Structure 1
Amino acid sequence: MDLPKNKLYTLLGVIVVILIAFGAIAIFTMGYLTPSSVTVSSEDDEVVKQYDMFQIKGEALDIDYKDLKQQNEEYVNKIIHYRGQIIKVNDSDWESYLTMATKKSSENYYDGNDVKVRYLIGDLDEGAIIDVYGEYRGLTWADEESDYEAIPLIYATVIDCNNKTILC
């Protein structure tokens, strides 16, 4: 097969472009590089399940606060949901925690039944009303805002705040 060099290089270039296109199609159809999923893990290095935001919201359990504290072990590592008002925000470089009140006192005010929430990113302000969806980790000791009692700890995967959704 005697092809001139410039036609041979053109043919090889077309073949390379086709192979790259097939590779890109294969990557996207197999689910790699899908931006809408959130990984939930029971240990920092061990992946348990992969959820998208709608699955998290659909499968999250709404548990009565009193039941959660009394039957604590039954709900550990389950996806739960709470709505409440942020009492305190503690931000750091690596992770952030907030404490939220979940007992509704009036239309725009929550007081009591505190929950501690760990989240990785997001700009959240004290006083904001939020919906938290995440993995329940058990009871943890609270600070003075919660009278130093044991309160539920949630590792957030999705936080809804002021018509915006934060994936954690």
Structure 2
Amino acid sequence: MELKEKFKELKEEKEEELKEMKEELEEKELKEFKEKKLEELKEELKELESEEEKELEKLEEELEKLKEELEEELELELELELKEKLEELMEEKALKELKKELEGEIKEIEGGIRGGGNEDGIEEELKEELEDLEEELNGELEKELKVILEEELEELKEELEELNEGLEERNWMMN
């Protein structure tokens, strides 16, 4: 009997040792698995970071291209605006020259009337006509100038809006 008990005790000890070894092995395998998984995750993270950097570089390049295109468009728009303004100024100058010519003609007529001794009624009528012409011309000049200024103001507002949108897009992309 004693032998049976010893065998049983020995068996239990060996089973306990086996159980402990099994647990140690499982812990070791689990630890190795975790380390391996951690390394894999680190590699994936590096790859993702690399891809993210490439995407960021692409976005920066696209942003630079968009910026250059916007600058070119603005230059063209400004050039067109300057041409239009120059044309308007030339028209305005032509109107002023016409006004001077009309004033000169009126003065000649007034001089002829004064020199010829005609009636005061004709002189008064010509003065009124001159004043009417001046008022009409000044009114036309004011209207044209107002239209020009309103158009320029609208164009400048549009440019400002476009610039703000471009800056907002740029800031959004950068963020």
Give TM-score scaled by structure 1 length. Answer: 0.31
Higher relative contact order (CA 8 A, sep 6+): 2
Give TM-score scaled by structure 2 length. Answer: 0.30
Q: Whose radius of gyration is greater, 1 or 2?
A: 2
Structure (1/2) with the larger strand percentage: 1
Structure (1/2) with the larger helix percentage: 2
